[in-house]
Structure 1
Amino acid sequence: MPSKKHPPEEVVAKITAPLPLLTNAKPAARIDLFAKKLRFCCYTFDFQDPTSQVKEKDLKTIYLKEVVEFMEESRGVLIEPIYAMCFTMIAHNLFQAVHPNNPNYDPDEDDPIVVPEWPHLQLVYTFFFRVLESPDFQPSEAKKYIDHHFVTDLINRFASEDINERECLKTAVHRIYGKFLGLRAFIRNVVNNKFLEMMYEDLYFPGVTEILEVLGSIINGYACPLKREHKQFLFQILLPLHSTPNLQHYQAQLVYCVVQYLEKDPTLTEEYVTKFLKRWPRTVAAKEVMFLGELEEIIDVLQPSEFIKVQRVVFLQLAKCIKSEHFQVAERALYFWDNEYIVSLMEVSSTQIFPIVLPGLLQVSNFHWNSTIITMATNVIKNFMTVDQKVFATILSNIKQKKKQEKKHRAELTAKWVKLNAIASQSEVTLTLKTSSANAENKR
């Protein structure tokens, strides 16, 4: 919908003549007066310049507050012409160009951004919600205006860096998804495309966190068995999102969505965990810590039957993390032994898990540079001993035997290398003598 932006001066002169209060108007005239005020609120003004059109901005604020209150308290307001006027006003105000992103803005360090037009936008969003919540609201009537274009424009607004606006957008999308069954598949498709643009075109998109929060609620409502489309979203969208450079901004929401999937359909666990571990970060310790956090949350919701399927690949990765030179990675991996449920799962599968992690724990407890990590690893080893001393002794004996064999193998390789060196040296001496003899013969 086109925006009526910056009306000509002669039009402003006409529309700024204050209209009477809705509460003072006769009941028969209120709908018409309500429509006039909505029409005025369609106009948008330049908020970048606080000194321009002050009178018009103040009047629009008054009208917006009035129409919000009128929509909340009145009944029988939502008739055919009013639907059109309501959504025209909403679209003209919300679907403006998003302010260009500040390349130097850091959401972790800088204060939250508040766009200058937010006081008006907040009232528009409030009015939008009052319309959707009205007992008179009929989705069959509103679908003429809340269509594919409206939904696309609404989701595009998540590019706003104003967190207040993104929170309102989250509420709006969630309510539209709940009321308009015919738009659900389209909303999911628009979200898919938005995430794909962000991931593969390297676009900065501030609203990922809020969209994932909406998706968390949507996934929670999925019926089982899950549709193929829903499974594809897990593996083609949520999984690749782990590889983006801004993961720390929305990791909690992303993990929540993943956990919802695995709780809904535990049979997805083995495939998801295997593919998740293949994306494990190799050079960014902070990201590795985040992956360890997600892995723990996943294990927390697994049934023992599903845990058995992934225990080997999971603890092979944990064993690597325990031996990490970065103390935060090693520390986060060792915290798995503070989780009672995970420890109980390990105890059941001790003969499979202990041999994987014990060598790394012994190495760390003896040679790690960080004293805290040494203490934590030592405590884990003590816990292993108390869980099943016989199994622990057997595994320890096997480790010692393996090290002995490795030492013997290294000694044999060293002896072979010394022998080869001796042979090479003897060959070099023989070659030198032959060369000298040949040169002497030639001189004669």
Structure 2
Amino acid sequence: MFSLFVCVCVCVCVCVCVCVCVATAVSWPKGCRCMVSHVICLRVGLSPEQPELFLKKLQQCCTVFDFMDTLSDLKMKEYKRSTLNELVDYVMVSRGYLTEQAYPEVVKMVSYNIFRTLPPSDSNEFDPEEDEPTLEASWPHLQLVYEFFIRFLESQEFQPSIAKKYIDQKFVLQLLELFDSEDPRERDYLKTVLHRIYGKFLGLRAFIRKQINNIFLRFVYETEHFNGVAELLEILGSIINGFALPLKAEHKQFLVKVLIPLHTVRSLSLFHAQLAYCIVQFLEKDPTLTEPVIRGLLKFWPKTCSQKEVMFLGELEEILDVIEPTQFVKIQEPLFKQISRCVSSPHFQVAERALYYWNNEYIMSLIEENSSVILPIMFASLYRISKEHWNPAIVALVYNVLKAFMEMNSTLFDELTATYKSDRQREKKKEKEREELWKKLEDLELKRGLRSDGIIPT
């Protein structure tokens, strides 16, 4: 039988009272399912009892319940949920609650609740692009713990100099492991938590970057499975944006050795937008990285997956939007050889995406400045497609591109047209000669066959 709660609220005219039910005696140890009887209200404002009551409440919330059994401890689960809600509200509006004794208790409570072994996927062939993720059963409590911790980190009274004793490398390592959770709601909260920790703890920044680096390398070269890649890349986008200039060698190495190889994994579509953003952030910081980045993309260009080709083309356009003319000159030949192959693709979406480059004003200006190099690379493919492609929409786009090239450099266009037609005539002539030669060989073979059979041809 649960005792009745008695709430004694002290109202001060300049203070707003917030009732937070706090046990004055004991917490809820594991295995214990009884509630305490005496309850006190905490008001917003300074009082001698507040710090102690706050600690008691944190200790109570260290008890973790089994949510896989939906019928067990229902009242206790609801009491804990209510307690966590009260803590979240209290942290948002109170002042003076963050004593030095509170830091270890906060980290302890958060650790007890969020750090756990993640369950294996329900299916060994889980496809994050197709299958529904397994949601965390304890989310009613877990969400509130994350909410509380974020408010704690964002508090004006928060002192990293004290918290660093408890929020250390071990804590961060466990936090990063949770990014493999299938539940997207949890990964979203983890993203916010890690971002706050990175911003407030200068001593942990290099460690965080190194561990993210390790996660990505393991993902690319060993497992090809990690649920939180998109969220980690989103955090990295903000981190890269804050890098000081000139960029350190380790940052450049991370770009070339880690971010570029991420393009090779099968699940690229799940995090490509965040990855492309990180790449562009690097190039805006240091334009000299453009050449190794584009050459890296060309090296890993997909050969058999049209969907990935379209993504690569989209990313290349984002890069070209920020490229400097001096850097463009260095990579224009290998780049437009690949674009020429894409334009010639029988998959109309690949060809269409490549042809859309000519709708981009900045890219068009770069092409026009270097038309003497680019036009000879593109011309043969464009001219052939205009006559042979199966999709009328692609043919129409090609005509527009040819028209644009003709307006850019009509003299070169005419020369290439004449050369192309001459080459085609030469090819047709060779093809005809080849056919005639094969016919003669077939006739000769037929005559030999007749002689061997004892038949004398007339």
Same-fold call, TM > 0.5? Answer: yes
Contact 1:322 1:330 in 2 (8 A): yes
Post-superposition Cα deviations, 1:16-45, rounded to whole Å, max 9, x if no partner, equal 546323239992112111111100101110
Aligned AA for 1:142?
A
Q: Which residue of 1 aligns with 2:79?
A: 59
**Pairs within 5 Å for 1:175-214:** 175-214=196-235
Aligned AA for 1:230?
H
Q: 1:325 aligned to 337, 346, 352, which one?
A: 346
Q: Which residue of 2 aligns with 1:49?
A: 69
- Determine the C-alpha separation between the residues in 2 that align with 1:56 and 1:203: 40
Contact 2:88 2:151 in 1 (8 A): yes
Q: Which residue of 2 aligns with 1:19?
A: 39
Would you say 1:364 and 2:385 are equivalent positions?
A: yes
Q: Which moved more, 1:217-226 or 1:61-70?
A: 61-70
- Determine the C-alpha separation between the residues in 2 that align with 1:225 and 1:33: 50
Post-superposition Cα deviations, 1:225-281, rounded to whole Å, max 9, x if no partner, equal 211111111111111110111100110000000011111111111111112101111
Q: 1:403 aligned to 424, 436, 442, which one?
A: 424
- Determine the C-alpha separation between the residues in 1 that align with 2:353 and 2:38: 64
Shift of 1:106: 4.9
- Please identify which structure carries the higher helix content: 1
Q: Which residue of 1 aligns with 2:4?
A: none
Would you say 1:81 and 2:88 are equivalent positions?
A: no
Unaligned runs of 5+ in 2: 1-27, 454-458
Q: Which residue of 1 aligns with 2:167?
A: 146
- Determine the C-alpha separation between the residues in 2 that align with 1:302 and 1:8: 60
Give SS of 1:28's match. coil
Shift of 1:70: 2.1
Give SS of 1:22's match. coil
- Determine the C-alpha separation between the residues in 2 that align with 1:24 and 1:258: 47
Post-superposition Cα deviations, 1:160-183, rounded to whole Å, max 9, x if no partner, equal 122111111111111111111110
**Pairs within 5 Å for 1:117-196:** 117-196=138-217
- Determine the C-alpha separation between the residues in 2 that align with 1:110 and 1:343: 41
State the identity %. Answer: 48
- Determine the C-alpha separation between the residues in 1 that align with 2:36 and 2:132: 36
Q: Which residue of 2 aligns with 1:37?
A: 57
Contact 1:281 1:287 in 2 (8 A): yes
Shift of 1:416: 6.9
- Determine the C-alpha separation between the residues in 2 that align with 1:25 and 1:379: 71
- Determine the C-alpha separation between the residues in 1 that align with 2:45 and 2:38: 13
Unaligned runs of 5+ in 1: 1-5, 434-444
Q: Which residue of 2 aligns with 1:299?
A: 320
* Paired residues, number: 427
Q: Which residue of 1 aligns with 2:402?
A: 381
Post-superposition Cα deviations, 1:92-135, rounded to whole Å, max 9, x if no partner, equal 11112223223365544556654221121111111111211122
Shift of 1:414: 6.1
Would you say 1:337 and 2:361 are equivalent positions?
A: no
CA RMSD, 1 decimal: 2.6
Contact 2:50 2:97 in 1 (8 A): no
Contact 1:22 1:66 in 2 (8 A): no
Q: Which residue of 2 aligns with 1:3?
A: none
Contact 1:281 1:288 in 2 (8 A): yes
Aligned AA for 2:380?
P
Q: 1:269 aligned to 290, 293, 297, which one?
A: 290
- State the TM-score, normalizing by the size of structure 1: 0.89
Shift of 1:76: 2.3
Q: 2:251 aligned to 198, 205, 230, which one?
A: 230
Contact 1:18 1:59 in 2 (8 A): no
Change (3 A) 1:151 1:392: same
Post-superposition Cα deviations, 1:315-352, rounded to whole Å, max 9, x if no partner, equal 10011111111111111111111111111111111111
Moved over 3 A (4+): 6-9, 15-19, 104-114, 404-426
